[in-house]
Amino acid sequence: MAGARVSGALLLAVWGLSCLIAVTAVEVVPLKKRPLTAERLRLAVKSVPRKAHALGFHNVRDANSLTKNGSVPDIEPLRNYLDAQYYGEIGIGSPPQVFTVIFDTGSSNLWVPSSRCIFSPACWLHHRYKSRKSSTYKPDGTSIAIQYGTGQMAGFLSTDYVTIGDVVVKDQTFAESTSEPGLVFLVAKFDGILGLGFKAISKGQVTPVWYNMLAQKLISQPVFSFWLNRDASDEEDGGEIVFGGVNKDRFKGKHVYTPVTREGYWQFNMGDVAVDGQSTGFCAKGCAAIADSGTSLLAGPTGIVAQINQAIGATGLVSEECKMVVAQYGDLIVELLLAQVTPDRVCAQAGVCSLRNDNPHIASVLDKENQKVGDDVLCSVCEMAVVWVQNQLRQNRTKQQIEDYLNQLCERLPSPNGQSVVECAKISSLPNVSFTIANQTFELTPKQYILQVGEGAAAQCISGFTGMDVPPPAGPIWILGDVFMGVYHTVFDFGNKRIGFAKAV
């Protein structure tokens, strides 16, 4: 990732070794902090691929002891981008070329942008791997393409050394991305993805980094664990992933373990889902679930999530944006149209949209990157409102009739990616939501499942529940992403084919 992008991350990445034996040196990498805004949060949520077809992983061992035979586990610090993206640094090549990656338990391949990526703007804004600068590079050239829930990449395979903390994985095959279309990876705060899933879901049957760490005996225990810091204002820690054990300082009590039920995913059986202690009935007979560090929210079948969001008073994100445009700009839109301002100029004159160039093809990618993150949504809503107002004016409607009509249309707008918002003032009165795993109840409070940014009247609160439908035979399924893993320290026990959850501290 380009230097400007790295410096824009929110938190300090802390490289530490904390275990039962003596603690070794701790490396602290300071980062600059960007202001926390609703627009950036919304885009951060959208930026992490909420994949439905390539989630996964499994297996580990004796997770309540850090290590055996005196070996120190490797701890990789994570950075938190507005509670929506957790990423850390790795090195590829000799000497190491530094990249920021999402450590994703829902996929199995490692990829970063390639120096040969010329036509994808996303590559220009991130670090690119340069094979010619590495003395340990080995060519492969096999083509590869990976489709995620909200993004995709294509490129070719190469082999080189991969450095994670103090661990160096030799001869690791990875993908050099030469194509990253769309906005997902363009706006991402990470360069690439390092999958921690099973080889069964690895594209091209490439051996995952985690497998090679074990095969090369770089860690003593087939265990890794996640601690995600959900405090987006905390400049000290974004979180950490520990390879080879767990950090006892990051949880309290004992982990509750549940067996992996499908070795393509870190998948397990989950019991009932309850709202305010009342069963929803949807999973009373059991549901499948996945623990996925690469998914920002809690994703589940749309019909179920819609009812949960209804119970917590959540409404469609686009509907709220639409109502805000109507409330703030509705009268002005009417006045501008009555003043004979051309429809394609109304939103720009109202200050909602940027004034468009006559030739849209010469718009700069960097100009897009520098726009406020929420501009595209507000601008699109404004342009829709202009069309609606035009139709109403042709029918000689009054301003009040037009406003009522616009609000009715706003109510009918679907939300992108299933995201919904709640009234921040009502958070304290919202119900707890709980999941049953291994006959134990794992509860989330409103402050834990609501992402809040801003203060006072400017605050906006986004529901941590989002709809995502996975068709049979893989689905229907729940994906317990960062909202859940931030509350519960998660152990991926590869050796014993199980997943463990304990209250994070």
Residue 166: name the closest of 17, 18, 22 by CA. Answer: 17
Residue 347, CA distances (Å) to 377, 387, 392 in order: 12, 11, 17
Single pTM value for the model? 0.72
Give yes or no: 375 in active site: no
Catalytic pick among 104, 160, 482, 493: 104
Report the pLDDT value the prediction gives residue 7, as an integer from 0 to 100: 30
Residue with tokens 């700009």: 329
Catalytic pick among 74, 83, 160, 292: 292
β-bridge partners, 491:
225, 500
Dihedral (Cα; 415, 421, 423, 425), 10-degree rounding: -170
Residue 481: name the closest of 145, 17, 44, 187 by CA. Answer: 44
Report the pLDDT value the prediction gives residue 252, as an integer from 0 to 100: 96
Report the pLDDT value the prediction gives residue 354, as an integer from 0 to 100: 74
Contact criterion met (CB below 8 Å) for 415 and 319: yes
Q: Do domains 3-249 and 252-314+419-504 have the same CATH topology?
A: yes
Question: What's 404-421 look like in SS3?
Answer: HHHHHHHHCCCCHHHCEE
Report the pLDDT value the prediction gives residue 424, as an integer from 0 to 100: 87
Give yes or no: 276 in active site: no
β-bridge partners, 462:
421, 451
- Residue 432: Cβ within 10 Å count: 16
Q: Alpha-carbon distance 261 to 287, whole Å?
A: 11
Q: Alpha-carbon distance 101 to 216, whole Å?
A: 22
Contact criterion met (CB below 8 Å) for 499 and 64: no
Contact criterion met (CB below 8 Å) for 482 and 86: yes
CATH code of 317-417, in short, is: 1.10.225
Contact criterion met (CB below 8 Å) for 422 and 463: yes
- The architecture that CATH gives domain 3-249 is Beta Barrel (2.40)
The phi, psi pair for 331, rounded to 5°, reads -65, -40
Q: Alpha-carbon distance 344 to 363, whole Å?
A: 17
Report the pLDDT value the prediction gives residue 376, as an integer from 0 to 100: 61
Report the pLDDT value the prediction gives residue 380, as an integer from 0 to 100: 74
Q: Helix or strand or coil: residue 157?
A: strand
Q: Where are the domains of the chain?
A: 3-249, 252-314+419-504, 317-417
β-bridge partners, 492:
224, 499
Residue 358 makes CB contacts below 8 A (sequence gap 6+) with none
- Residue 466: Cβ within 10 Å count: 26
**R_g over Cα of the chain:** 24
What does the block give as tokens for 63?
């997770």
Residue 270 makes CB contacts below 8 A (sequence gap 6+) with 283, 286, 287, 288, 289, 435, 436, 437, 478
Residue 251 makes CB contacts below 8 A (sequence gap 6+) with 227, 489, 502, 503, 504, 505
Q: Helix or strand or coil: residue 385?
A: helix
Q: Alpha-carbon distance 349 to 446, whole Å?
A: 40
Report the pLDDT value the prediction gives residue 325, as an integer from 0 to 100: 86
Dihedral (Cα; 300, 304, 310, 312), 10-degree rounding: -60
Which stretches in the chain have pLDDT values below 70?
1-84, 149-150, 232-236, 303, 317, 355-377, 412-419, 454, 457-458, 471-475
CATH code of 252-314+419-504, in short, is: 2.40.70.10
Q: Alpha-carbon distance 292 to 51, whole Å?
A: 10
Report the pLDDT value the prediction gives residue 471, as an integer from 0 to 100: 66
Residue 357, CA distances (Å) to 32, 340, 362, 369, 414 in order: 34, 21, 8, 16, 30
Question: What's 296-347 look like in SS3?
Answer: CCEEECHHHHHHHHHHCCCEEHHHHHHHHHHHHHHHHHHHHHHCCCCHHHHH
